[in-house]
Structure 1
């Protein structure tokens, strides 16, 4: 008996499946695999699937995870990927290398981990998507799965990205998916994420920053606000109009040359931009990834810039952020 219905999304709502950035090779394509492993010329990505070590060393953790998922797809072509494994194939943000690849099993399957693959027991699903020849749970199901089972910082970031990626998604649709599932496990946990997600943050760091700022007790900022000037427009990540304060989740990338800009030029441009913004703002706060993960540095930075909390901190949501993102 078929346990799912495969849906082919319209071209307007489906991206190309995220592909690994390095070649993956089945053991049958290599000669003397054990010798190559002993010489550290290849690394084992999945069962019977390998990559060249030189290629592997240059990958970010989340890129390695994408390779692990594709390795399972090579050896299990009928697998239905879910949770982080579906998310990474959709091109949605995944933190680090989660290691375990998640697939759905039928009602007769046993939940277990075997050879780096976790099989989840499942009731009938009506939104399995053929994504470039690989079966995955649909965006809404993937978002709700993670919102129910992961720390809010992870669920919120993924939900924001999914809303931005697919304009046909809505908070009502996600909430209905959560509330109408037969299982109540994780239903209450997911509600904050599905009530507060928004498509406006442009990066995972912006989404994480928004969540932590709200949990710290600061008021909801306006997002992606534009400040015109004679030569163009400055668009800011966060704007608290009542406090006339700008918040910028910069990260460190713009200063390391990765965007094709020399660090000194990037710093100079930011100072000039800040001077323009201070014509309209009384304060500007800048922070990066580490500040958000550790929470305290973000709190100190926005307080320094003049923002003040309007309610008590949500200690339960703030707890465990660093652990949830550890080594990610």
Structure 2
């Protein structure tokens, strides 16, 4: 890609139009050749980008990268000032985790009075946007993080909405009064009951997607509410901070993510084993879950209840 076109693409998330390529000196044949040999890829009609090798990225980062490029391609193809990026697409543009959100299409909200609906694979929403709802991300007009959160929460599952809301609260990206204003805005929207329940359940102490999902699973299994990020001590001092603690049942529940033990370092594994031994020495039950356990929720609920019984047989 020549320098002139590269500078244009860098301002547009790596995306450029056919018109821009022609204006930068490429011929129609050169464009066809680059698309044919895989150096460029077509994101949508008349919108291109250099082909990226994302095979080394985790699946969720591959999905995010593709969706953000699709956003820029859509915005390139629409009249400036007619729409803003919204819903989960705005969350992607803001760089927030996207677990469980449908990214099969770009979501935008019209601000030009035109009709909404699914048009050319893009979901056009209608909605009144106030100045506090609007911002710019990567030179693209977008809804703010709080607005995008409630928009997306109305279109997804309780679990996915909680994952997003936990992050927004943890990062301090929404004020309480702003959240209340937005909840009143969406009061009669389809999906608003799920959004409201998820936002009420959200907790800034959930430190990862896995912890958020496990907390939702335990809630849906009818388990009591745990204490999050509890610090536990023995005679030698702080044993550690645990993900979930049920003090009335003397039980600790931990989520072990893929990166939990820094690549399996033996020193880290030994320290974690020593930490768990100290917890058990306090008379606590310690239960651990991994990503695969989300596929068997009944097992998770049963395992925790069995730990409760071991800690308090008469409970």
The TM-score with structure 1 as length reference comes to 0.74
Selected match of 1:221 from 223, 226, 244: 226
C-alpha distance after superposition, 1:206-236 (max 9, x if no partner): 1111111111000000101122464865111
More helix by share: 2
What corresponds to 1:194 in structure 2? 199
Match for residue 66 of structure 1?
68
Structure 1 runs not aligned, ≥5 long: 1-18, 309-328
Q: Which has the higher relative contact order, 1 or 2, with Cα contacts under 8 A spaced 6 or more apart?
A: 1
Distance (whole Å) between structure 1 residues aligned to residue 259 and residue 41 of structure 2: 29
Give the corresponding residue for 1:49.
48
Unaligned runs of 5+ in 2: 1-9, 311-315
Deviation at 1:111, TM superposition (A): 2.0
Return 237-246 or 294-303, whichever deviates more.
Answer: 294-303
Shift of 1:66: 2.6
CA contact (8 A) 2:242 2:254 kept: yes
Distance verdict in 2 for CA 1:39–1:130, change over 3 Å = closer
1:140 aligns with 2:146: yes
Greater C-alpha radius of gyration? 2
> What RMSD over aligned residues (CA atoms) do the two structures have, in Å?
3.1
* Secondary structure, aligned partner of 2:54: helix
Distance 2:136 2:162 in 1: 25
CA shift for structure 1 position 200: 1.0
Residues 1-328 of structure 1: pairs in structure 2 closer than 5 A: 23-24=14-15, 26-27=17-18, 28=21, 32-47=30-45, 48-53=47-52, 55-59=53-57, 60-76=62-78, 78=81, 79-95=83-99, 98-106=103-111, 108-126=113-131, 127-166=133-172, 168-170=174-176, 173-181=178-186, 183-228=188-233, 230=236, 234-254=240-260, 259=262, 261-262=263-264, 264-306=266-308
Deviation of the 1:74 alpha carbon: 4.4
Aligned length: 283
